[in-house]
Structures are given as C-alpha cells and as structure tokens.
Amino acid sequence: MRETLEREIKLAPGEGFVLPELGGRRLPTRVFISTYHDTPDLRLARHGVTFRHRIEDGAGLWQLKLPRDAARLELELAGPPARPPAELTALLPAYLRGASLVPVARLRTRREGIQARGAEIVDDSVAVLEGQHVTRRFREIEVELLDGDERTLRQLEKELRRAGARATGELQPKLYRALDLAGAVEPRVSRKRTPP
C-alpha cells in the first residue's frame, strides 16, 4: 500500500484562464474515471473522507483520503473495481457504523499541467457522469507540493491568482462539487477552548 501526505491548494479558474508560465516541465495529459464510494447518507464525505476507485489507461487504483490537520493522508492500493480492498475498508468502521459502501458519483477528469518548483500544478476539466451522460462540468486548478515547502505553495498561489484564478474558500474534494455538498459537511471540532 502506498501512503503519502497530500498538501495542496485548489483554485477556480476564471473565464478564459490559461496556466501562466511557471517554468518547469510540462506533464503528459491524463484522462481518468473516478467512481466515489460512500454510504447512501454520505457519512464519509460528512467527515472529510473520500474513497474512490480510479481507472486510467486500463489500470485500476483504490484511493482513500483521510483528513490530517491542514493536509490529507492518501492511501493507494491497486485493484479491480468490483470490491473495495479489505485493507482500506478496515480503516473505516468508525465512519461507517455498520452501513454499506455504495457508488455515489462518477467523474471523468482530463488533467493537464506542469511540474515546477517542487510542486505539481494541474488544470482539471471534470465531467460528472450518470451512465454515459454528462450532467455537469467544472474546472479546478490544483497545486500539490511534491518536495517544496509552504512558502512555495503560497507563491504559486499568488501567481495563479494574478493570472485569473480565484480562491475557492474551503479546500474540498471534487466529490463535494459533483454532489453540491458545499456547506453540507459537519464542522471540524475546534481545538481552542472557550473561556467559561
């Protein structure tokens, strides 16, 4: 099982947005289909957890993302779409509380981008699918740190905003946009104590 700590920002591209010149090297264009799994009442999503099966170039990969402070822990395991791997579902009983996992959304993503300054900067064009029909579309810009630092992340964000991208507010997975879940997620418990 592959484990990584995902540190990223997401931005919304404005009308006619084009990635600015940021140096680095262009990445190959990728197209993948992601099927998100959750309980029928979206218990995982309500806690900031996403669980999906992604198919790219005929290969299947299960991905589980768990919130961890300002980042997300991403666990990946290769496998077919028929059944979620036990190694990953074994981490979910506290969220599932006996409920079954079912497919809740299917997205097709076309990804273009560059790798520069210790980060991967991508422009994702996303189609939300019902069967073979597209029910809606959206774009998002993601900047994910590979080996850069938080300062690099903020500098890249500034340059992208100057080029016409805008902040999306809360960092939310694509699933939330696909299902219109903005504001529907339970708030995280604050660690600050309120004075009596």
Angle formed at CA 50 by CA 146 and CA 88, multiple of 5 degrees: 90
Q: Nearest CA to 171 among 192, 142, 146?
A: 142
pTM of the model: 0.88
Amino acid 148 reads: G
The residues, any chain, with a CB within 8 Å of residue 171's CB and separated by 6 or more, are: 8, 9, 10
* DSSP H or E segment with residue 94: helix 93-96
- Digit-by-digit pLDDT tens for the chain (196 residues) are 889 888 899 999 988 899 999 999 999 999 999 999 999 999 999 999 999 999 999 999 999 999 988 789 999 999 999 899 999 999 999 999 999 999 999 999 999 999 999 999 999 999 999 998 999 999 999 999 998 788 999 999 999 999 999 987 666 789 998 988 865 454 333 333 333 3
**How far apart (Å, rounded) are the C-alpha atoms in residues 125 and 131?**
18
Are the beta carbons of 159 and 20 closer than 8 angstroms?
A: yes
Q: What is the dihedral of CA 167, 168, 172, 173, to 10 degrees?
A: -90
